[in-house]
Amino acid sequence: METAKVGMREFRHQFGEFVDAGKPVAITRHGRTVGFYIPVRRKPETADLEALEEAGRVLDTLMAQKGISEDVAMQEFKRMRKDKRGGG
């Protein structure tokens, strides 16, 4: 599945369109990927779990393509949270 890349400002302004499209989006800031939007359709509980599993598979694929390990992703996530709270 091909993932679209969009700038943060464009994503924010056209969020509704991305929700309706129902496809994953890589969100960039100054050309660097800073996050992913992976939509989940509203379905019964079993379908929600299946959608979450699919999102995990998509994330695994994207991380493998970029050569990013789970440990590196978690370290970056923790660093970004700390920076956001003003602790970095």
Domain residue ranges of the chain, discontinuous segments joined by + = 4-84
Q: What is the pLDDT of residue 44?
A: 60
Query: What token pair was written down for 87?
Result: 């602790």
How many residues are given for the chain?
Answer: 88
Which whole-number Å values give the CA distances from 27 to 11, 18, 75, in the listed order?
A: 7, 11, 19
Reported as a single tens digit per residue, the pLDDT across 25-58 is 999 999 899 999 988 766 567 877 888 899 999 9
Question: pTM for this one?
Answer: 0.46
The residue assigned the tokens 């050569």 is 67
Which pLDDT belongs to residue 87?
65
- The pLDDT of 61-70, averaged and rounded, is 92
